[in-house]
Structure 1
Amino acid sequence: MMYFLFVLPAALLLFFLYLVPLARILVISATDGQGLIANYGAVLTSAPIHRMMWTTVEICVITTAATLLIAYLIAYVLVQASERARLWLMLCILVPLWVSVLVRAFAWIAVLNNSGPLNSLLVASGLIDQPVQFVRNQFGVMLGMVHYMLPFGILPLYAAMKGIDPKLVSAARALGAHPFTAFRRVFLPLSLPGLYSAFVIVFIFSLGFYVTPAILGGGRIVMIAEYISLLIQQGYDWGIAAALATLLLAVVTAVVFIAGRFADWDSVLGGSRR
């Protein structure tokens, strides 16, 4: 009974601040506008919605792949680095998390716009004749998203890699395996649960990302979260917006259920392996 009293405040908070609003969204998707069939029918048959959804999936897949590749390399360097170097590297990884996502998005605008330092440097070096459009397009959106997602990919991977006994790789090397073969046959398979965990976190965050795509996309690249916002703020179409939000929730739930079966959440959350 005492344990129940400790859990009750968190359960009530979860119920009133998450489950009740979520249920309200589900009700709106089925009752607002012309009703359930019309709202979900529009989501399934509208060409603009299909283009927006394809854009969202494409950006999320590329962003997740790029983030996991870079995050894996950085996490591997962290595991192999000395304590002092690891401290400084970890500081460089965590500091961006303390900076507002809005500030970071506008910082990328300042760096990547036509008159920004990157284009000025490229023009001055003679590599290009005219400034390159780095922002207000899909490249700018993906670059900003990868930058934001990197810590969320690095930390789960580092937690998983840290639990791998380095003697296993040394044993493979001692038995005559090439360094790359030892990595591919020993280290990489043992790090896969952390990779699955990082995938779940990064992909889910990417699906619902709003601020960075809205700023760096400049209205030309619209993802599902921004589209839902436009439907509510400009079209006042709560029914279709709620149907899209419900579809997004269903996709996120499916990703968590499928990929979560392979993820090593114990190592990611700091637990011990058995």
Structure 2
Amino acid sequence: MFRLQRSSWLLAPMLAFMVVAYLAPFLGVVSWSVTLPEPGFGQYKAALTDPLVQSVFLRTLRICGAVAVLSVLGAYLITLIWVRGTPRQRLAIELCILVPFWISVLTRAFGWLALLSNHGIINSTLMSLGLISEPLELVRNQFGVIVGMTHFLIPFAVFPLATSMRNIDERVMLAARGLGASRTRIFWQVFLPMTSSGVVGALILVFVFALGFFVTPSLLGGGRSVMAAELVYLRVFQSPDWGLASAISVIMMVCITALLMLIMRQDRVGGGK
């Protein structure tokens, strides 16, 4: 009992820091959303009914959904090799997973600009080979945003998938082989269903991260694919409307909290299985 109380006191500085650094500013944003420019819930009504804000929300959901699906598809193959490959394959995959964490999001975005822009490496190579007569529009649109965000978020999808794959009972796989099932059938009817909890968790996790992206959509979207986080920035610094920006932020926080609760529930269900 005494040790438990001591450990609780050790957590007190961290809890105090979180209150000061996160909870207090968020409560301030909540207060702005119902007091600026005048008291009431008018800013929430505007956020949910304004055609511009609605279009940004729909674009954000569409891009985040596409990024989540593509990231999990790519991560599934990477994780499969990482968990069930040879030692050399595992080492190579570990490097591919860890190295991106050492590169900033800004550096990656500029790297994709160098690759995808009208005078970038891809367009220049295709034009020099005579495969295209004019540059392809690969950036300053949703395609460029999705590519950049997917590249950034694939490593984050790997970890829940790896946990799910490592928890598979190998005796089930051996039983399927003993019954004469082919590798393809084992994958689709045994392996994939047993990793479904990891797939769902990875989808939700990537979707949550994607909702808050700002730098990548700003650079690769070129102002043509504004997402919710960028809209908040524009409403605060370019066309000052702090009340609406705060309402949008609170709505996003509520959505993210709901998704995080879904992740925790999924984790408990998966653990129970």
Residue of structure 2 aligned with 1:65, choices 51, 55, 69: 69
Q: Which runs of 5+ in 1 are unaligned?
A: 268-272
For 1:69-218, list aligned pairs within 5 A: 69-218=73-222
**AA partner of residue 42 (structure 2):** A
> C-alpha offsets along residues 2-53 of structure 1, whole Å, 9 cap, x if unaligned?
1221111111111111111111111111111133322111112111111111
Q: Secondary structure at the match of 1:262?
A: helix
Q: Is the 8 A contact 2:197 2:270 kept in 1?
A: no
> C-alpha offsets along residues 131-166 of structure 1, whole Å, 9 cap, x if unaligned?
101110000000000000010011221222122233
Q: Is the 8 A contact 1:52 1:223 kept in 2?
A: yes
- The alignment-based identity, stated in percent, is 39
- Superposition deviation, residue 125 in structure 1: 2.4
**AA partner of residue 34 (structure 2):** A
Residue of structure 2 aligned with 1:31, choices 26, 29, 35: 35
- CA distance in structure 1 between the aligned counterparts of 2:106 and 2:164, rounded to whole angstroms: 30
- Superposition deviation, residue 200 in structure 1: 2.1
Look up the match of 1:48: 52
Q: Which runs of 5+ in 2 are unaligned?
A: none
Look up the match of 1:252: 256
Q: Is the 8 A contact 1:197 1:264 kept in 2?
A: no
Aligned residues: CA RMSD: 1.7
Q: Is the 8 A contact 2:115 2:121 kept in 1?
A: yes
- CA distance in structure 1 between the aligned counterparts of 2:170 and 2:131, rounded to whole angstroms: 44
Q: Is the 8 A contact 1:196 1:260 kept in 2?
A: no
- Superposition deviation, residue 82 in structure 1: 1.2
Q: Is the 8 A contact 1:196 1:263 kept in 2?
A: no
> C-alpha offsets along residues 198-257 of structure 1, whole Å, 9 cap, x if unaligned?
122100011111110011001111000000000000121110000000000111112222
**AA partner of residue 248 (structure 1):** M
Using the size of structure 1 for normalisation, the TM-score is 0.93
